[in-house]
Chains A and B, each alone.
Chain A
Amino acid sequence: MASLIGARVNRVEDPPLLRGERRFIDDIIVPDVLHAGFVRSPHPHATIRGVAKHAALALPGVHAILTLDDLAPVMAKRRMMRHSNSGTPLDRMWCFALADGEVSYVGEPIAIVIADSRYIAEDAAALVEIDYDLLPAVSDCRKAIESSSPAVRRELNTNTIATYKVNFGDPDSAFAKAAHVFHTDLWQHRGAGHPIEGRGILAEFHRGTDGLTVWASTQKAHDLFQSVTSLFDFDESNLRVITPEVGGGFGPKLCIYSEDIAVVAAARLLQRSIKWIEDRREHFTNAAQERDQYWSIDIAVSADAKVLGIRGNLIHDVGAFALQDVNIPFNSASMMSGPYIVPSLHMDVVVAATNKTPVSSIRGAGYPQAAFSMERMMDRVARELKLDRAEVRRRNLIPTEKMPYTKPLKARSGAAMQYDSGDYPASQAAVLKAVGWDDFPKRQAEARAQGRYIGIGLAHGIKGTGRGPFESGAVRISNTGKVTVFTGAANLGQGLRTVLAQIAASELGLRSEDITVVPGDTAGTALGLGAFASRQMVTAGNSVLLAARAVGEKAKKLASHLLEAAEHDLELKEGEVRVVGAPQLSIKLAELSRILKGAPGYGFPPGVDPGLDASVNWRTDALAYANACHAAEVEVDIETGAVRILNYVALQDSGVLINPMLVEGQVQGGIAHGIGNALFEWMGYDDAAQPVTTTFADYLLPTATEIPTMTTLFQETPSPLNPLGAKGAGEVSTIPTAAAVIGAIEDALQPFNVRIAQTPVPPHKLVELIHGRSDGPDH
């Protein structure tokens, strides 16, 4: 059978999803389940003097109202201590399962209510009376780090959680010899993740063993497993975490949250099964956001527009708690130079706490901000030096012949930051041709003559994908011949089941529909890391490839004994091992599996191990660097500030594509997310740190009428770093989108000399800029 690598195979996931038969977290049915709701703080900062439960407890159907003190007896630790791999001191930034006498953002859970139904739990939550002592709060991360600012929590001596430098080369001498220096201040806002399915968890209590099966809509089943075992000192054999169908991730579902731990604790305490399903308002106030970064940067360039150095600082809002290590601003500062040769850089990074919802990673994880900063400066240099914007980029792109190219920085793993492969100038050339870049000035002039303001923008992006150290992949053939793939990777809608089935089927001579893939189940694989950093095709894909290959070799080895043929004369086809050229000499995989399961006292042929299965945790420290080049053409209505995207061309190089149809889907979805970031998505807080956008009527996700038809182009530069030659895909296209769209808007508004220094840029801001009534970014 021909290899399925590169085939546009329809997804195995689809038929049951299209029939409404797949089970998401709120569709899982277990007997005698109780439902949870949370009492949450309406204040951004307060101490709690008392919690009065009597009115709520009097409500029929309410079983318990529990605070942290109530849960403590079943927990090993009150605080959700995690390991800070970066070394950032975060001991006073980790969350509590429930508030420990103080709340430091609106929405922070104070008590968990357990009731017969979600309706009753929410009624009861509203009846719990909390006596607060209000404390001053800080909303703006720039103010938070001033010494006069109130502490976000009383335990914090300062709201400056971390400061560090990202630097290389000699920026001082670069600036001293520069022909031009340009300064830019940027406000970059990235909103929240907003999968259409919110979070949810179901702790199923097993009477008799006191064990738990935890079902969770998560990107990281094994992290949840490890968190529960350590926070509860729980016997590993008594816990299983299962990921049901997940209705999108985009970042927020990679964290372990207070609600997760509170639900598990309540289940242990009450010895009952308990389910909690997040509502959208809770997602707005409690699921991780990426929110605000403030950049102040200078760029030094030579007379011929070559970048000599970059200097600046970046303030990153991390919110009231850390949900995981604070890597996002490191990604932003370290990846700023993107696909360009930048000889020197010095960025001072400040991570600031505020009285707002905790910040973690949203699709792109700091990389979109890096690209926006760099690409805005590229546009600036072109404008100041009166050069074509594509030409300025070309002069600075890493040339093809310099690949692989080592940046003078180290990745988080300590490995050198080496771009493994790619052809950035060729990427750009293909995009310019497809979008009609060279003709655009003519089209723009014609449009202007008709009173229409159209513009074009261009942006490059780089993403380190396939973050290690590994992902698990196990392949098992049963004695019915059925093949199952187990992995710690998570299926969030990317089509993980389909692509891993394609890989395993290609190795075993089967069809993808013959393979069942079981992702995110801790009973399937003991180890796993899950979905983040566009990593699963590289990590899980290669583990499954190598595991399937090992299983195939094992099958051939046993078959060679049974068929009395040399292994190299055997092939895997249609569920059998066959002698090449003599298919009547064959043995079924089912039979081989039966033999390798063993029979009491009977032996195997020499050199064959038991079990027709293999488990591989393919290791990697290096990242596979995917790249993208985007061009956007827009029209701006100068009366209303409305932006219409007329044309969008996106090239992506994600290495060898396993299923190009699915990668196209990732590219398109990523662009839509980036368009949301560029034009619509704003998670607003007022000066008192009260959230002001907590419905989809206030926080605007892009809809079908705002997203254009996109042209997707691929380059396939294999990564030399992994057997598949693959690179990640999921986040790559989000990275340059805001820069391309906003560059296009600025180009359209040239006659008004408009300069855009923020994302998102809503219509009213554009109208202000057109009328010259704005003096910088909104925030």
Chain B
Amino acid sequence: MSSQTQLDKEETVEEIFPGAEFAAAREAKGQDVEEVASTLNFSSSHLVAIEEGRLSDLPNRVFALGYLRAYARHLGLDEQQAVADYERFTGSTPKAGVKPLKSIGGGLEEPQRKGGGAKWVLSIVVLLGAAGAVNWWVNQRPVTADVPAVTTFNIESEPDSAASPVEVVATISTEQEKEIVSQPVEVSELASDSELNHVSAIPETVAVEPSVSSEMDVAVAPIVSSSLGGDEPAQVVNGGDSSVEAVSNTEAVAEDVVATADVQEVPVVDKPASVVEGEGHLKISFDADCWVEVRDSSGKLLVASVRGAARGVDVRGAAPMKVTLGALSSVDSLTFNNQAVELTQRGRGNILRMTLPVVE
């Protein structure tokens, strides 16, 4: 018995298909080959070939595996092990180059697509196009970041010691264009109230001669603080001559720039706190909470929210503006284009609907 076991071990070492396991299992069940063959409807020669490890005597793979599985199942052996042994000893793999599905509807690899090169070429062309577009756009933009000479005026006016600062920024740059471009700066209105009048810069290019810069009409309040940005120290000019000095200062700078570089450009100039024609500036302050709805002439909603004492309304938009106030009694003051509007006779109950400017 022990010698038989030793023999079996040697056979295993010699890598022979373990058909003996099938024979042993069959004998353990007390069945002969013919009996099993009739039960499974298999040819007994195929079963004998399996038991003797003659796998080459079996038909092709699909049948051989079918027989092995059925025989293993019948004898209570491990089907998967039998299949693995078959594959190991015959060197065949399931569908060379074709992997079986692990599960239905999932875990499948995406196909590799032909024509990947074309995709890359197309991608590169698109990227180059985008880069060209960005380059063009950058070149078309007025250059402000690379301005070599920048002059900034910060003019603060304080009528009756109450400050109403107006910031005027004039950017003068040296460029390759052979013309001086500047923007007449006009401060038409300086509000007497103490609120800040901050004017955003509106880039505009107007070609003018150097002498034109002397025509810049800068009307300032008695106290003007003018600071020349960059290397220029800040200057404080007092008294009524401030406007003249400011203008001359501007002239001087302009001429200086002309003297040093023939090519000048002033692409960005701040506009003063003026109300452009057709534009309305609405300011409302409140004592208590109030619903506010403001629409401009095109019907665009500018404000639609509850405002209160802490947060008033200060909007600009195309006039005429339509204003709806939900609680008229909460309104402290309403000014349109810096002119106070009388509200007491206009409301219906506590609700006010009106169009500004008021047409009497």
Q: Do A and B bind each other?
A: no
**Chain B residues within CB distance 8 Å of chain A:** none
